[in-house]
A and B are shown apart, each in its own frame.
Chain A
Amino acid sequence: MAVIEVAGLVKTYGETRAVDGVSFEVQEGEIFGIVGPNGAGKTTIVESVEGLRQPDAGAISVLGLDPIRDRYEITERLGAQLQESRLQDKIRVNEALELYASFYRHPADWRDLLDRLGLEGKETARYADLSGGQKQRLAVALALVGSPEVAILDELTTGLDPQARRDTWDTIEDIKRAGVTVVLVTHFMEEADRLCDRIMVIDHGRVAAIDTPAGLIGRIGSKQRLRFRPSNPLDDGLLSRLPDVSAVTHEGPQTIVTGTGNVVHSVTALLAQQHVIAQDLRIEQASLEDAYLALTGDALVETGSENR
């Protein structure tokens, strides 16, 4: 069942089309990622879904409701963490949670949320005294304190150190396990790969692709690359005659073999047969990052051809 349905969303700021005909659906219980370069329109899309912005064209339905017309009902059932939003410096963690909990018909137990988000013992800490990671986890707690069915998290881990980022990922997986549908805006591919069931790549206000992480990677081919330093000299011809190998190149003492399918097995078998040891062997596979760069790069080319 689709929890969020967006069709033909357009939003213009002055001369700029920030969002230019975006359509997507978010299914119940999934983590749906929105990735794209800065200024691609990600935040405008989620703010339109949250009802903070009035689109110029297109239809948005959240839990069967209209974000602008059914404003009140949406705020009860959708929790939001906004990019670059903070709290009063001197407010205490428990005061903020108690306050926000009082806004909702069916609030969650905020003490339980504190424990789940690893903020236990921080109840009486002032907002200004929290670390970056703790502030972000409090923002998540506030987004969840109304027991929402959908949570929208915008650039949650930007500015966090790697450990805090990983802790926050665990939190997001917990939210999903609790049955909440999550929309995650990010520009970290590692984060999207690890967390998202499906990812929408946005570039220049348009949808470049919507797919699973594996599906996106698959779009740029299943190329693999072996990089190693042979213990004895090895004839390139033997390597390039292998059925799955497409190219053999050298970088200093390193041999680089590119291929598809069973290339790793074929190469290692050949090396064993020739009594060559592959020193410093590394196998590289296309990552989501590669797929993302290819997709957003393609979009750039398309825009270029339109301008002609």
Chain B
Amino acid sequence: MAATMKLTRTETKLFLRDPIALFFGLIFPGLMLWALGLFFPGFTDHVAELGGDRYIDIYGPIVLGLGLATLGLVTLPPILGTYRQFGILRRLRTTPVHPVRLLTAQLIVHGVVAIASTALALVVVVSLFDVPLPQSPVWFLVSFVLATASIFSIGLLVGALVRTSVSGQAIGMGIYFPMLFFAGVWIPRSIMSDGLRFVSDLTPLGSAVQTLEDSWFGTTPSLMNLAVMAAYAVVASAIAIRFFRWE
């Protein structure tokens, strides 16, 4: 436990020293919502085709999902790839501290950054654009935890198998962009066709955005969306643990 905390402290410092990870992982979601709300024409107007909602309302959950995906799929896998490539995991195996502690530390760091980045984005939309605070806070929390668990498990799975930082980056990105599409970054889910929305429901990020939106505006998330995220979390992390390569 002491070693895990010590590793977490060191990995936090290293994360804070990486300006790109810091910008995209921590600041970007809040900044993006601020810029969209302020500069995108009509973003804060009520729109008939969204059933009277404003774009800023429905983009809140989408950008939160994007933030989680950036941390889990863009930042995490190359770090794990680097640690394998550099022999850092192998080096740890020769000490009394098992390298699984380093993975735990990485997940803690990414989890804390995810919470901070989500909080920042919430502060931006709630204080600047009259978006309400999450109306079902407990369901919002459940959705956030499941969303983070499912996305990070997929990132962990990629990181478990890649040999290098570069391949971690490539494969992570290859999953990231399709996920963003299904999350509704380009076409919001409420405008998607039924078929497309069904596929989106089957992706962890699509379900994440839906449950975050539901709980934010006071609807109980559907069991199907919650189950999809839970399933990805369990299956991906089980495969990651089973096939993790220390070198």
Contacts and interface: CB of A to CB of B under 8 A. Distances in A.
Interface of A: 50-52, 72, 75-76, 78-80, 82, 84-88, 90-91, 95, 99-100, 102-105, 142, 146
Interface in B1-23: 2-3, 6-7, 10, 13-14, 17-18
B97 interface: yes
Given A91-B10, A91-B14, A99-B7, A85 B95 contact: no
Interface in B94-150: 94-97
A75 B96 contact: yes
Give chain A's interface secondary structure class: loop
Contacts of A84: 87
A95 B7 CA distance: 10
Contacts of B91: 80, 82, 85, 142
Interface string B78-99: 0000110011101101111100
Interface string B182-207: 00000000000000000000000000
A210 B158 CA distance: 46
Given A52-B93, A82-B94, A90 B88 contact: no
Nearest to B5: A102
B131 to A, nearest CB: 37
Contacts of A100: 95
Contacts of A79: 94
Contact of B94 (A50, A90, A91, A99): A50
Nearest to B95: A103
Given A82-B87, A104-B96, A90 B10 contact: no
18 contacts: A52-B90, A76-B96, A78-B94, A80-B91, A80-B94, A85-B86, A85-B91, A86-B86, A86-B87, A87-B86, A88-B82, A91-B10, A99-B7, A102-B3, A102-B6, A103-B95, A104-B95, A105-B96
Give chain B's interface secondary structure class: helix
A283 B91 CA distance: 46
Contact of B10 (A75, A85, A86, A95): A95
Given A75-B95, A102-B2, A103-B95, A82 B90 contact: yes
Contacts of A78: 94
A105 B2 CA distance: 12
Given A103-B96, A146-B96, 16 more contacts: A51-B94, A75-B94, A80-B94, A82-B91, A82-B94, A85-B87, A85-B88, A85-B91, A87-B86, A87-B88, A91-B10, A91-B14, A99-B6, A103-B97, A142-B91, A146-B95
A86 B88 contact: yes
B7 A90 contact: no
A87 B92 CA distance: 11
Nearest to A73: B96
A12 to B, nearest CB: 18
B94 A103 contact: no
A200 to B, nearest CB: 21
Nearest to A146: B95
A202 to B, nearest CB: 21
Nearest to A84: B87
